[in-house]
Amino acid sequence: MDWTALAVSLRLALFTCLLLLPLGLWLGRALATARFRGKPLCEALVALPLVMPPTVLGFYLMQAFGADTPLGGVWERLFGSGLNFTFSGILIASLVVNLPFAVQPIQRAFETVPSHLREAAWCSGLSPAQTLLRIELPLVWPGVVSALALTFAHTLGEFGVILMVGGAIDGETRTLAIAIYDRVQAFDESGAAAMSAMLLAVSFLTIGVVYGLAGRRRWRRA
């Protein structure tokens, strides 16, 4: 078992979840409640990482991270180093790849909250922020936990994009999924098996959480 790779994977998954939570809430709520012209385009952009081949997405991200691009240039000026082959680089890649996993369950959850409930809260004197905290979040939290669980599990398992952007630098960008590949390449099947079993368990647990929460949502329709 490559504990360093596991630590990188967990760190990456944790940061991805933490950063995508506010973004997913904002974007998911906006897409569920707002009506604007470019909405289908926004939804398509959010969903794009789902259908793009990871190597293609990884390739474009690698290109975008280069020092001669706006993103890479700004990053290098701010932090003194590039994004390719760094933890920051794979974190940004992970944020992009996981956007649909974070946004879509939250958007679906907000879509089930009737607009009348928000309006009733306003008429009862609650501010928009209080309405979000006290009325909407208690109704959409299963969707939020689903989003976090899916993001977490998907980050642990992400391979192609991470490999393209980060390579396999020990303790920096070599995640568990990449370590498994390396083990197999080195004919260390027992090492690969242990780590695979680990990922399998995490994935199963995550999906269990998602379906368990889906069951909890039933009371809302009663």
Partner 1 sequence: MPERSDEVQRLTVSLHQPGPIPLAADFHCAAGELLALVGPSGSGKTTLLRAIAGLNRPRGGRIECGGDTWFDADRPLALSPQRRRVGLVFQDYALFPHLTALGNVMVALDELPPAERRRRAGEWLARVRLAGLEERHPARLSGGQRQRVALARALARNPRVLLLDEPFSAVDQVTRRRLQRELALLREEIRIPIVLVTHDLDEAAALADRLCVLHGGRTLQAGTPEVLFRRPASPEVAHLLDRHNVFTGEVVEEGGERRLAWGPWRLEVADGLEGRAPGETLAWYLPPSDVVLHRRGRPSRGERENPVPARVEELVVLGGMASVTLAFAHTSSTLSFDIATHAARRNGLARGEAVQVSLLAAGIHLMPAGSPANTRSGT
Residue 127 sits in the site that holds partner 1 (CB under 8 A): yes
Residue 60 sits in the site that holds partner 1 (CB under 8 A): no
Residue 123 sits in the site that holds partner 1 (CB under 8 A): yes
Among 18, 50, 56, 117, binds partner 1 (CB under 8 A): 117
Residue 162 sits in the site that holds partner 1 (CB under 8 A): no
CB of 23 or CB of 126, closer to partner 1: 126
Among 78, 125, 129, 185, binds partner 1 (CB under 8 A): 125
- The tokens describing 50, both together, are 């789902």
DSSP the chain: --HHHHHHHHHHHHHHHHHHHHHHHHHHHHHHH---TTHHHHHHHHHHHHHS-HHHHHHHHHHHHSTTSHHHHHHHHHHSS-STTSHHHHHHHHHHHHHHHHHHHHHHHHHTS-HHHHHHHHHTT--HHHHIIIIIHHHHHHHHHHHHHHHHHHHHH--HHHHHHHTT-TTTT--HHHHHHHHHHTT-HHHHHHHHHHHHHHHHHHHHHHHHHHHHGGGGG-
Binding string, residues 67-106; x marks residues near partner 1 by CB under 8 A: ----------------------------------------
Among 11, 39, 216, 220, binds partner 1 (CB under 8 A): 220
Among 7, 134, 170, 216, binds partner 1 (CB under 8 A): 134
CB of 55 or CB of 127, closer to partner 1: 127
Among 18, 119, 171, 212, binds partner 1 (CB under 8 A): 119
Residue 138 sits in the site that holds partner 1 (CB under 8 A): yes
Residue 51 sits in the site that holds partner 1 (CB under 8 A): no
Q: Which long-range contacts (CB under 8 A, 24 or more apart) does 116-124 make?
A: 118/33
Positions touching partner 1 (CB under 8 A) are 114, 116-117, 119-127, 130, 134-135, 138-139, 219-220, 222
